[in-house]
A and B are shown apart, each in its own frame.
Chain A
């Protein structure tokens, strides 16, 4: 589903590469934790998958597309196969829960009856039924993140990227969010989650990929947060 072939990325106006020689293969339906210190290149790796950024060298393949040769006009199509969730939720403050989720379908031109059917279904799945009419500021952090997950998932993407989705949440809420991601994973969606949260990683025992200073230093199935000693 996602393949990195000896990928390096150096940002313009930056001397240090953010990623160096990363090779990685993520199969359809996998759940991968991406761990590493702040600044190790986790977000950069996700931006490359979304083609928000381009590689400096190497090759990235996502959902059967080679991103270095993908023309700009095809990028929206790629992004429709990827849902994205961030630490800061990124909800639209003046739209309610329903509208925030529906927005993702509306801008893709989905018909109204589809939206009316799919949005409540997705909200129920993330555990937000009954809160359709709340505005983001009337929700807790965990609930806001559920809205963001619903928005990322409502179009049934093949891949869900979550960049430190629990970074702003307390431990119990964080665990709930990851369980939700786990449930989404079981519907066949490939999930890549960048995180700092050792407890969560240790508890779920999923594949762990660790970056350090832009280099991939560990790729472990059923791994834990810290390197095993």
Chain B
């Protein structure tokens, strides 16, 4: 079939069916928008995780003279114990990327610096602050190895992983993004059903055309093609609108936040990365739905 003829038939079809095509485009837009938000928020969580996990440390706190920690009943850490711990850490390369020893005085200075306006730490003395090794891991998820090696070791008061503070936050964010994805799933289901209904209706309202096509010997492919292409045009218009919205949201919404907050945010580059996938999903689902519906409701 000539391209020009196909295009003009599709144009006529879309115009005659404008309200249906619009509803398909809008519902597709909302589903792709939710799908995009879900995927992008997953990426946001990953981005933040990468950022923070690179910075989190495992702290091995050593015993002070007056510590009440159960493992510190023997008193302050000895030089020999300190050396042993350090040696063991050095032996754990490459998991252990780097080790920063922090003396009692340094810990005290840091506390004073962080809480200089707060009265609650005014009476604290440097001797009360625990000395520590701050350990940076090449793979932050493996902090268990450090914990199990050093907890209860002579001279070690406690082992703390900063990740434990961050993880609940990430879990909440992850949960929210899964929520968006489930909502997107529902919306996609709605779009699929709407597309199927629309094609059914259209096939019925064009039964005269398709009947003539059949009679003069047009192939099944040619009879189905206008339906498939019209569906594709409507869903792609919706998808394009959704991607535009996502781009604008990230560019202006997230962009605004990124200027204000010291957090790594996704950028429009992430939108560009996920766009081909969203287009492929929308187009694939549209064609699949069209194909199934036509097989059932369009005699060829």
Contact = CB atoms under 8 A, between A and B. Distances in A.
B212 interface: yes
Nearest to A100: B212
Contact of A108 (B4, B12, B208, B217): B217
B217 A80 contact: yes
Given A84-B215, A90-B211, A90-B212, 14 more contacts: A73-B219, A76-B214, A77-B217, A79-B214, A79-B215, A80-B216, A82-B217, A83-B216, A92-B209, A106-B1, A107-B216, A108-B218, A112-B2, A155-B216
Contacts of A50: 215
Chief secondary structure at chain B's binding surface: helix
Q: Which residue of A76, A80, A81, A104 has the most chain B CB atoms within 10 A of its CB atom?
A: A76
A33 B219 CA distance: 30
Nearest to A75: B217
A151 B212 CA distance: 10
Interface residues of B, number: 19
A108 B5 CA distance: 11
B206 to A, nearest CB: 10
A77 B222 CA distance: 13
Interface residues of A, number: 25
Nearest to B213: A107
Interface string B48-62: 000000000000000
Interface in B199-215: 208-209, 211-215
Given A90-B211, A92-B212, A109 B1 contact: yes
22 contacts: A50-B215, A73-B219, A76-B214, A76-B218, A77-B217, A79-B215, A79-B217, A82-B217, A83-B216, A92-B208, A92-B212, A103-B212, A104-B212, A107-B213, A107-B218, A107-B223, A108-B1, A108-B217, A111-B2, A112-B4, A151-B216, A152-B216
